[in-house]
Amino acid sequence: MTGLRALGGRGVLVTRPAAQARELCRLIEDVGGRPVPFPTVEIRPPRNPDAARALFGAGQDLVIFISRNAVEYALALLPDRAVLIRDSAGNSTLEASSEEVAAGSGPQLAAVGRATATAMQEADIAPQLVPESGFDSESLLALPALMEVAGKRVLIVRGEGGRAMLGRTLAQRGASVAYAEVYQRVAPDTDAAALIPEWQQSLSFVTATSDEVLVNLLAMVPETAHRWLRGLPLAVLSERNAGTAIELGFRIVAVAKEPSDAGLCDALCRLQLNNPPTV
């Protein structure tokens, strides 16, 4: 990371959901920044938990978890986590050896990236398929095991209304795809109007961990402040996020070199180097 106290006390708007912002805020403080939490997405249980719950343990060949939230909320739905990886004969791969899993005694488990894989490992449902680099659907789809899925039954564990690209591509490759939507993302009922005068005095950077948080942020901030907000340097997690930010009018965007909180802080430090405070 670039410089232990690189941010020099400058304010950083942290827009990710409140429950997931603690570590990022700590790291921002570690590099000398002042985090300003302002969640633009709330994570809530699904509207139809029974429909999601019924899909697990239904004899899938492959179960894909899209995010840490997908892992957490799937476990919350299921009193017996073994059902997450139970085969059509009712056997749990939690009790199977790795050789038995590879031989087909239960479904393969996949994570869209390393953070999701870590959450699965912590829950004792370690995935067999994880991209070596990247943390999105494109990276997962590039794995050899997902090239040959004709005739396989695939369950994608995600939030309500997630990206269609993964499921659509797997279906085009011949898989039968179902979605267990185990949580929902909603925009908080928060009006930022009263905060703008203080933000204009204290904020120097913005962070965004998804396209959705950016769209919601602009909806929550009065239009009269959009020009100022879009002028702030922005740190994002991916090139896709950067493309969305530029389309939305943000002018200075840095992409994390790795999809993590530490990567996001490194992007902030690079923004600081390139955009020093005015005197």
187-196: pLDDT as tens digits: 998 889 999 9
Do residues 208 and 229 touch, judged by C-beta distance below 8 A? no
φ/ψ bin of 42: left (φ > 0), alpha (ψ from -120 to 50), beta (otherwise)? beta
Pairing mode, if any, of strands 253-255 and 234-236?
Answer: parallel
* H-only helix segments in 153-247: 165-172, 196-202, 211-220, 226-230, 239-247
Token digits of residue 105: 């005694």
What span, in angstroms and rounded, lies between the C-alpha atoms of 21 and 199? 19
Residue 101: pLDDT band by 50, 70, 90 thresholds?
Answer: very low
What does the pLDDT read at residue 228? 97
Count CB-CB contacts under 10 A for residue 21: 20
Kindly provide the b/e burial profile for residues 124-133, where b requires at least 16 CB atoms within 10 angstroms of the residue's own CB: ebbbebbbee
Do residues 129 and 109 touch, judged by C-beta distance below 8 A? yes
Query: Which is more confidently placed, 128 or 87?
Result: 128
| CA-closest candidate to residue 13, choices 233, 260, 249 | 233
What span, in angstroms and rounded, lies between the C-alpha atoms of 263 and 4? 14
What does the pLDDT read at residue 78? 84
DSSP state at residue 60? -
Is domain 44-186 given the CATH code 3.40.50.10420 in the classification? no
What does the pLDDT read at residue 227? 97
- Kindly state the average pLDDT of the residues 228-246: 95
Q: Is 3 a residue whose pLDDT tops 60?
A: no
Task: Determine the topology of domain 11-41+189-274 in CATH.
Answer: Rossmann fold (3.40.50)
How does pLDDT run across 150-183, given as a tens digit for each residue? 999 999 999 998 788 999 999 999 999 999 999 9
Least confident of 31-40, 94-103, 183-192, 196-205: 94-103
Which residues of the chain are in CATH 3.40.50.10090 domains?
Answer: 11-41+189-274, 44-186
Mean pLDDT of the chain: 87
Do residues 7 and 269 touch, judged by C-beta distance below 8 A? yes
Question: CB-hemisphere CA count at 13 Å for 28?
Answer: 24
Q: What pTM does this model have?
A: 0.80
Query: Which is more confidently placed, 99 or 42?
Result: 42
Query: Which is more confidently placed, 96 or 255?
Result: 255
